[in-house]
Amino acid sequence: MKNLRYRRLLSLALLVPAASASSILFEGGTVISFDHTTQTPRVLQNTSILVTDDRISAIFGADEAVTIPSNVERVPVQGKIVSPGFVDTHRHGWQTAYKTLGSNTTLAEYFVRYGEFSQAGTVFTADDVYYGQLAGIYEALNAGVTSILDHAHSTWSPETSSASLNASLDSGIRMWWCYAFHDLTNGFSVQDQIANFQELLQDDRLLQSVVEMGIAYDGFSSASSEEIQSVINLAKNSNISAFTSHFLGGPWFYANSPSLLNSLDFLNTTFPIVLSHASFISAEDAMLLRQTNQYISTTPESELHYGHDHQHSAFIQDQAALGVDTHFTYSTDIITQARLWLQSIRLKFYQQTLNNWEIARNSPMSANQAFLLATRSGGLALRRPDIGVLEVGAKADIVVFDGSSPNMLGWSDPVAAVILHSNVGDVEHVLVDGEWRKRDRQLVLKQNRTEIEQRFLESARRIQDIWMQTPLPDLQGDFQPGVPYATAYSVDVVRGNETGY
């Protein structure tokens, strides 16, 4: 009802032509909108979307009269699915050069070998960070990811920090670029990092861009209270758009938990806080997130791949969005994350009945819910109800799927088609903030893509050579006090001894 009312108001408003506005009309597709009454995706058949500058200005059916500006760019979308752009709420964009190196790594190994405190801090130059960040964002845009919260921990020097921000600004993706403050051994102290961050905040390019500044910090349970307080003060006084922290719990510790943040008077904040993983979150911490409207970022593939697990995050999906995490190890598209999450949640709750020798009569999670996690929930995690949704007034972050590929052909439910049948090859058009980022399956970039990819490949070859020559760490003794390393059962798909890997 609400949407209909908006539409009629808008068709009147459009009688006054907007002189210099740019507009794009997606004509006659199947649009996945949102129904505020039922809080579910709302499918609109044979519907058109008018984009004016950076926002959606009208959504209308074939029988509705809407005045269309004469200079409009018409894009036919008959037979296609028009979806909101996908939102990735947890990523470390600088790591692209490692691609395929971590194919069978574990989280404990990752910390030593690939993370922000590994040799990366001395090996990666500003150029490595720049080209990796940019080439990685190309992959995201190509897959219909239009928004990213980057936990940017390549902040090892003013140069590598600036390079990451530069690539983000140059990419044209919508980003919450969260500068990570961390204790380094190279002399670039947290106080230096704070000064560097404040300098970057003054960058005039931010005013014309779709990049917003945020802070990433993991030190709440490990750093000195002085350091923690200086980061809290900075966050509260810098008009940031997001704050993010890793939170695992259970045997991982790494406990930047909601209750710890709350005890520091740092949970009920005016800006959004996104806690990545929350694998072993307690019921009490989940309640704190609801009370303060803060979100977790579930990264299904990373939590499976590395073994973080997600024991309890499944119970706080009303305050959750999806993320990719380390894109060098697996897929960057949020649809794959949604699909993996959907099927693993189904299994998790089916098992509860099976363990009791009972047979479920219902499915524990629907494709609609997975779709919302991948889109609108990401916007809500960032307190941006105008992101991850197709409705009048929302940001024009739009993805058009070709509905006629061999894998898509025959769909009637567009949400199920996207979540369970699509692949990146079906992403035909991508718009971010009303601007083309992919058109007719080709990326639309400000840079010379060939040149960027050549520079990235040179960087990746250099980085990969160094890592291949670095022996794998020998993980013996304790991961941390009271938590020993152990050997997991490993499978061998060929008969005989020692034929694995």
Ligand X SMILES: *[C@@H]1O[C@H](CO)[C@@H](O)[C@H](O)[C@H]1NC(C)=O
**Interacting residue ranges for ligand X, rule: CB under 6 A:** 28, 46, 62, 101, 103-105, 126, 159, 162-163, 166, 212, 239, 241, 268, 291-292, 448, 450-451, 496-497, 501
Query: Which option in Zn ion, ligand X, none does residue 126 bind, with CB closer than 5 to 8 A by kind?
Result: ligand X
* Pairing of β 273-277 and β 242-247: parallel
DSSP state of 418: I
Site string for Zn ion, 325-354 (x = CB under 5 A): x-----------------------------
Nearer to Zn ion, 110 or 371 (CB): 110
**Distance of alpha carbon 67 from alpha carbon 52, whole angstroms:** 12
Query: Would you say 163 or 235 has its CB closer to ligand X?
Result: 163
Nearest approach, Cβ of residue 484 and ligand X (Å): 19
Q: Which of Zn ion, ligand X, none has residue 241 at its interface (CB below 5 to 8 Å by kind)?
A: ligand X
Q: How far apart are CA 398 and CA 381, in angstroms?
A: 19
Shortest Å, Cβ 203 to ligand X? 8
CA distance 501 to 128: 30
Give the closest residue to 308 by CA, choosing from 292, 336, 329.
Answer: 329
Q: How far is the CB of 349 from ligand X (least distance, A)?
A: 30
What's the closest the beta carbon of residue 282 comes to Zn ion, in angstroms? 21
The pairing of strands 23-35 and 295-298 is unpaired
- Closest-by-Cβ residue to ligand X is 62
Positive or negative: CA dihedral 419, 423, 426, 427:
positive
* Calpha distance 335→311 (Å, rounded): 22
Residues 43 and 368: their CA atoms lie apart, in Å, by 11
Residue number, 111 or 349, with CB nearest to ligand X: 111
Spatial separation of the C-alpha atoms in residues 115 and 133, rounded to whole Å: 15
357's contact among ligand X, Zn ion, none, with CB below 5 to 8 A by partner kind, is: none
Nearer of residues 129 and 278 to ligand X, judged by Cβ: 129
Nearer of residues 61 and 69 to ligand X, judged by Cβ? 61
Q: Which is nearer to Zn ion, 88 or 325 (CB)?
A: 325
To the nearest whole angstrom, how small is the minimum distance from the Cβ of residue 92 to Zn ion? 6
Residue type, 362: N
For CA atoms 196, 199, 203, 206, the dihedral sign is positive
Picked from Zn ion, ligand X, none, the partner binding residue 482 (CB below 5 to 8 A depending on kind) is none
* Partner in contact with 325, chosen from Zn ion, ligand X, none, beta carbon below 5 to 8 Å by kind: Zn ion
Contact 64, 14 (CB under 8 A): no
Q: Which span sits near Zn ion by CB under 5 A: 57-65, 254-262, 324-332, 349-357?
A: 324-332
Residue 246: CB minimum distance to Zn ion, A: 6
When CB distances are held under 5 to 8 angstroms depending on the partner's kind, the choice from Zn ion, ligand X, none that residue 501 binds is ligand X
Conformational region of residue 278, where left means phi above 0, alpha means psi within -120 to 50, and beta covers everything else: left
Query: Which one of Zn ion, ligand X, none is in contact with 119 (Cβ closer than 5 to 8 A by kind)?
Result: none
Among Zn ion, ligand X, none, what does residue 362 contact (CB within 5–8 Å per kind)?
A: none
Residue 450 partner contact from ligand X, Zn ion, none using kind-dependent CB cut-offs of 5 to 8 Å: ligand X
Query: Please, what is the minimum distance in Å from the beta carbon of residue 278 to ligand X?
Result: 18
Shortest distance in whole angstroms from residue 291 CB to Zn ion: 25
- Picked from Zn ion, ligand X, none, the partner binding residue 46 (CB below 5 to 8 A depending on kind) is ligand X
DSSP secondary structure letters along 251-314: GG--B--HHHHHHTT-SS-SS-EEEEE-TT--HHHHHHHHHHT-EEEE-HHHHHHS----TTGG
d(CA 447, CA 450): 9
For ligand X, which is the closer residue by CB, 292 or 353?
292
Alpha-carbon gap, residue 365 to 18, rounded angstroms: 44
State the virtual CA torsion across 414, 326, 428, 173 in degrees, nearest 10. Answer: 110
> Least CB distance from residue 103 to ligand X, whole Å?
5
Which residues ranging from 352 to 381 are in contact with Zn ion (CB under 5 A)? none
* 337-352 burial: b if 16+ Cβ within 10 Å, else e: bbbbbbebbeeebeee
Which of 90, 395 has the CB closer to Zn ion?
90
Which element (helix H / strand E) includes 247? strand 242-247
Minimum CB distance to ligand X smaller for 38 or for 270: 270
Phi, psi (deg, nearest 5) at residue 85 = -65, 155
Would you say 88 or 170 has its CB closer to Zn ion?
88
> Which residue has the CB atom at the shortest distance from Zn ion?
325
Cβ closer to Zn ion: 48 or 244?
A: 244
Kindly state the smallest distance separating residue 175's Cβ from ligand X, in Å: 12
Binding region for Zn ion (CB under 5 A): 325
